[in-house]
Structure 1
Amino acid sequence: MKLVVDSGSTKTDWGFFSTVYDVKAVKTQGINPCHQSEEEIRTIIRNELLPNTQNIDPAAISEVFYYGAGCATESICTQMAALLKEFIPNAAIAVDSDMLGAARALCGHAEGVACVLGTGSNSCLYNGKEIVDQVPSLGYILGDEGSSAALGRRLIGDCLKRQLPETVSREFMERYSLTKESIIESVYRKPLPNRFIAGFAPFVYEKRAIPEVHKMIIQCFSEFFTRNVINYHKPWLPVHFVGSLAGSFAEELRETADSLGMTIGKIETSPMYGLVDYHATDKA
């Protein structure tokens, strides 16, 4: 039996499988070794994972492939592997970044450009096994183009700067009980402003058929392509996407790519089953 783990800061998906046709999936809260102590991670595994996998013998797991947020350095990956070894002692354990997990899930063993669109955004050029180039994400202030945070930031700005129909702006402000002052407070003075602005992406989705909102969405996605994907200089490669936002705005992503002469490949909401398929093959 093998175990594939896709871990973000919000949630973690655990997939136990012997074949691609028999996967036991378990969800726990997110794990990020940059923000959580080893004991906090152990507690998540003990309290959320183990009670839901009582019929699985840890000794029967031969390989673990863990792809996680925060797993960007060799020391952190080594630390995470050692922690997992406490619970799965007989397995060979490989720990890599969540971006590599997304690339393998989307591209498999083929070359391609892999992109993640969620609260933030990220991308890479992948050669069928490893990441060979990566334009930095830079976070919601300097980057994260095309993400929920980018859409939310643009929505707020366009409402306050009178770029959207008055009816849309009024509905937005009233629905979320917002004022200009409360927005300034949440963005510039309160913690986690990226989550605050990203939380308005569902409103953008709801109003996406309104011409001004549609134009805003296309402009945000165009920024993602021009500031990230185009810089890999591989216009013949398919561009794949994973993430909740990518799944919701698949039509707009395809429209944007077509206008820029790019080819969209897969658009998935989660990398889990792509990773299971990747690691079920002999090449993995």
Structure 2
Amino acid sequence: MILIADGGATKTSWCFSDKGDTPGMISTGGINPYFRTTEDIIQEWKKSSFSQLSGKVEQVFFYGSGVVDARKAQVISEALFSFFPTAEIEVQSDLLAAARATLGKKEGIACILGTGSNSCQYDGKKITTHIPPLGFILGDEGSGAGLGKQLVSDYLKKIMPSELLEQFQARYPLEYTEFLNRVYNQGKPNQFLAGFVPFLKENIHKSYCAGLVRRAFESFMTRNVEQYKGLEKQSICFVGSVAFHFQEQLRNVLLERNMVPGVILQEPLLKLMEYHLQLKKYEQYY
């Protein structure tokens, strides 16, 4: 049996399959090794339904945010080992997950546009070049946090058209000081700001919203994707809710820059399962 995890900031989605049958799904809390210890993770997972898989799992592939080096990967791999001591365990970044899910064994550019943003150049086996995303204060262009930051700023400065301003105020009846408190004094301001993206989606037919999204994607391309060499020959693929829900706008920006739009997925999990099952068949054959 193969067990694959897509670990995000707020939740971790798990998919397990035996010999290519219909995958089963499990959901647990978000895991980021920057803020969690191995023991902390173990205690949380003990509350999940992992026990039903004990002794059945042969391979575990965990992809997550915050997995930026071997030390962070070890935090998660040791927790996994306590549940699956006989399994082969691999812990990788969510960026490699995006590359494997969208490109498989082909070379290309893989991007994440979700709460945050990220990108890399992939040679079909590994990430070869990576432009640092820098987080929503210094970077994260095109992300949910970035879109939300611009939207809230335009609302508070009254740059937003009056019709949308009234609509926004009715939907989010927060005072000026409440916005500032949530962004500067409370935890997870990036998630707070990304929470306003549905407003953009619902009003994407309005020129203001369409323009805001378009400029964010143009900035992402200029400051990230266009830094990679050989773009004219490679597909540019995306994973994440922002890319998925605004894929029409995203494809238009790509085409206008003579870039090749590739696969756009809301979530990578099922495609990752497909990737690993095919890889396992290949290894068994050869």
> What is the identity, as a one-letter code, of the residue corresponding to 2:47?
N
Amino acid at match of 2:45: I
Q: Is residue 262 from structure 1 mapped to residue 259 from structure 2 by the alignment? A: yes
Q: Is the Cα contact below 8 Å between 2:113 and 2:241 reproduced in 1?
A: yes
2:275 is matched with which residue: 263, 278, 284? 278
Shift, 1:18, TM fit: 2.3
- Aligned partners of 1:243, 1:29: CA distance in 2, in Å? 18
Residue 189 (structure 1) shift: 3.1
* CA deviation map 1:258-279 (0-9, x unaligned): 1111111111111101111111
Q: Describe the superposition over 1:49-74 as per-residue Cα deviations: whole angstroms up to 9, x where unpaired.
A: 32xx62x3x22321111112222111
CA distance 1:207–1:28, change in 2 (3 Å): same
C-alpha distance 4-220 of structure 1, shift in aligned 2 (>3 A): same
Matched residues, percent identical? 39
1:24/1:212 Cα in 2 relative to 1: closer, same or farther (>3 Å)?
Answer: same
Q: Which SS does the other structure have where 1:281 is aligned?
A: helix
Aligned length: 280
Equivalent residue letter for 2:272: L
Q: Secondary structure at the match of 1:9?
A: coil
Q: Which runs of 5+ in 2 are unaligned?
A: none
Q: CA RMSD in A?
A: 1.6
Q: Residue in 2 aligned with 1:46?
A: 46
Question: Which one is further off, 185-194 or 64-73?
Answer: 185-194
One-letter amino acid matched to 1:161: K
When residues 49 and 40 of structure 1 are mapped into structure 2, their CA distance, relative to the original with a 3 A threshold, is farther
Q: 2:80 aligns with which of 84, 94, 100?
A: 84
Equivalences for residues 1-284 of structure 1 within 5 A: 1-50=1-50, 54=52, 56=53, 58-235=54-231, 236-282=233-279
**Segment drifting more, 103-112 vs 176-185:** 176-185
Deviation readout 1:56-94 (Å, 9 max, x if unpaired):
3x2232111111222211122223222211111111111
CA shift in 2, pair 1:166/1:133, >3 Å: same
Deviation at 1:242, TM superposition (A): 0.7
Q: CA deviation at 1:21?
A: 4.1
Instruction: Provide TM-score, normalisation by structure 1.
Output: 0.93
SS in 1 for 2:23: strand
Would the aligned equivalents of 2:39 and 2:79 in 1 still touch at CA under 8 Å?
Answer: no
Asked whether the equivalents of residues 3 and 14 of structure 1 are also in contact (C-alpha less than 8 Å), the reply is yes
| Aligned partner of residue 276 in structure 2, secondary structure | helix
1:75 to 1:160, Cα distance in 2 relative to 1, 3 A: closer
| Residue 189 to residue 211, structure 1, CA distance change in 2 (3 Å) | same
TM-score (norm 2): 0.92
Structure 1 consecutive aligned stretches of length 4 or more whose deviation exceeds 4 Å: none
Q: Shift of residue 11 of structure 1?
A: 0.9
Instruction: Answer with 176-185 or 115-124: which moved more.
Output: 176-185
The answer on whether the counterparts of 1:242 and 1:270 sit within 8 Å (CA) in structure 2 is yes
Q: Describe the SS at the equivalent of 1:266.
A: strand
Moved more, 235-244 or 36-45: 36-45
Per the TM alignment, residue 131 of structure 1 is displaced from its structure 2 partner at its CA by 0.5
Residues 7-53 of structure 1: per-residue CA shift (max 9 Å, x gap)? 11211111111234421111111111221222221122111232xx6
